[in-house]
Structure formats: C-alpha cells, structure tokens
Amino acid sequence: MPSTTHERSVHWVLSIICEDRPGIVHAISGAIVEADGNITESQQFSSDDTGRFFMRLQVEAAVSRERFEAAIAPVVERYGLQWRLDVVGRPLRTLVLASTAAHCVNDLLFRQRAGQLPVEIPLVLSNHGSLRDLASFYGVPFEALPVTDAASKAAFEARVVEAVEEHDIELVVLARYMQILSPELCERLAGRAINIHHSFLPGFKGANPYKQAHARGVKLIGATAHFVTSDLDEGPIIEQNVVRVDHSRSPAELVAIGQDEESRTLTQAVKWFAEDRVLLDGARTIIFR
C-alpha cells in the first residue's frame, strides 16, 4: 500500500538560468535533497557562446511551494539564478489572437479539449468575427474588434493588455493574427508571446506566398514558430518544420500542406513553452525536449 507521504507528493518542474560556474548542479541537487525531493528528470546545457548555464528538473516532493523555495533560496542567492518553479502539467493561462484563418486556432482549441495541450484558453480575441462559431463549438469565449485604422488598432491592443490582466494570462499566441503588433505591446509581452509564419519569409512576402511558391517551383515548404519581438518575424525561434513537395502540387494543395505544418509547428511550440521546456539565450532558444 503506498505511503501517505507518497500520496501527497507533488511533481514540480524547476528551470534555471545563470552564469556557468562550477558547482551549480551539485548545489541545486543538494538543495532538493534538503527538501526531501527526488529528481525524476534532469536536463542541462552550458553555452560556450554566452557562458550561460541552463537546466530543467522535474522533482517529486511532498513539500509546499514555500518549503521548496526556501530550500533553493541559498543556491539562488549564491549563483544569481533566474528560476521558475511550477507544478508539472498545470494548464497555462493562454490568450489566443486570431484573424480569419481557422487552422491554427482549431488545432489549439481541439488539443486543449482533448487534454493533449497543457493550456487553459479563456478567450479568443480577433480582428474579425469569422471564427466566432469555431470558438463557440469548443465553448471558448470569443471577442471581435475590427482593426481598420490606427485608432482601432490602438483599441485592439488596449483590449489585449486588459485581457492579459483580466484573465491572468501567462502566454499570448498569435494564431495567424494578421496584424503587426506595436513595439510597445511587443515589449510588454516579451518572452511570453508566440507567433507562427510560413517559412517562405523573406522570399515570398505578401498575401499569396503559396501562389508565389508554386510559380517558383519550390521543393520544400514549412513553418516557423518564434517569440514575438518588435523586429517583424525575427524573434528567437522555438520550432520549425518542413515537408517536401514537387511540381505536381497545385497552389491549393500547397496551402493545405502549409496550413498543416503551421498548425503542427505552433502547437508544438506552445506545448513546449507550457511545459517549461523553452529557455531564452539571447536571440536563440534552448529547448529541453
């Protein structure tokens, strides 16, 4: 019969970033032992380029957050750790921004409902009303605020900020939201907003990249999920996927294939982020799969 202590155990995830120095792993492991914790998963990486150390741990421990934090506090102070502690599998409060394309939004909402994505989506916010029925099908509130000029764009972004506060949002996902965010909003959401775009950029810009790609006879199409920054489509990359195509594919088929890749890539990036597997190292990401 399992012990009472085991029944009360909590599975924690601890991620840390700091300057790479000797003794970090020993120190953090010792602190976890002091908290009566058992390390069930451990991944680490030392960057020769930046001299920084990255680590992700999963720990089973029958302790409160307060006791866990107290146990690692001396290590945090000694090594100057940036750290995050959370419960494994806790759904991340996520705001979805959308326009008219349904594929990415549908995949996120479906996988949330199916329990395949550790997020909780309290709102889909769009600059068009066309996805209202889709959100309603999944029982997710939907708001549409048209963006037609500078004033309406400012109003939309003000609603984003308001929604982030109102719903305790931890992640904002641009699920084919086809408006450029202001530098001010990008700064406010730094490190917690993810965008998706087709990997044709910058070669095929504009409204019909797949038609352009067909005309040029591309052999690979794909998608890139990245953090949002004020530099358009140049934020740190989280995930990329490609699929091989040939001359027999029509523009419509390229669109369908590309949308599948966009959905798959964005959902994977969101999943990794929600599981605390994505750590920032300057202009790139460290992904603990």
Residue keyed to tokens 């965010």: 181
Distance CA(26)–CA(233), nearest Å, equals: 39
- Show the tokens assigned to 46: 């030392």
Distance CA(76)–CA(206), nearest Å, equals: 47
Catalytic residue among 233, 246, 260, 281: 233
Max CA separation in the chain (angstroms): 67
Q: What is the DSSP string of 201-233?
A: TTTS-SS-HHHHHHHHT-SEEEEEEEE--SSTT
Question: How many residues would you count in the chain?
Answer: 289
Cβ atoms of residues 88 and 118 within 8 Å? no
Q: Which amino acid is at 119?
A: V
Helices (H), 80-131: 103-113
Element (H, E) at 238: strand 237-244
Q: Which amino acid is at 100?
A: T
149 is catalytic: no
Kindly list the catalytic residues.
233
